[in-house]
Amino acid sequence: MPIIEVALPNGRLKYYDLRFDSSGSDHIRAMWAYYIALLETSYAKDGSHPLLLKRFS
């Protein structure tokens, strides 16, 4: 899972770990975003994605 970096007003950085700071539905959305990104990359680079999803665009 990704980690988000946020700049605080005092200039310090704060990190949020999405695994621990999110709900279950956020995890599902992150997984789908990852899978769709793999599919789009496979289309763009002629990869070997199994193409289980249909591309509508």
Any domain includes 15 = no
If one counts the domains in the chain, the total is 1
Determine if the pTM surpasses 0.85. no
Answer whether 32's CB lies under 8 Å from 25's CB. Answer: no
Give 1-37 pLDDT, tens digit per residue: 667 888 999 999 998 877 777 777 888 888 888 888 8
Any domain includes 31 = yes
Q: What's the per-residue H, E or C state across the chain?
A: CCEEEEECCCCCEEEEECCCCCCHHHHHHHHHHHHHHHHHHHHHHCCCCCCCCCCCC
Give 32-53 pLDDT, tens digit per residue: 888 888 888 888 887 776 766 6
Per-residue pLDDT at 13: 94
Answer whether 13's CB lies under 8 Å from 6's CB. Answer: yes
The parent domain of residue 35 ranges over 23-57
pLDDT of 57 strictly over 60: no
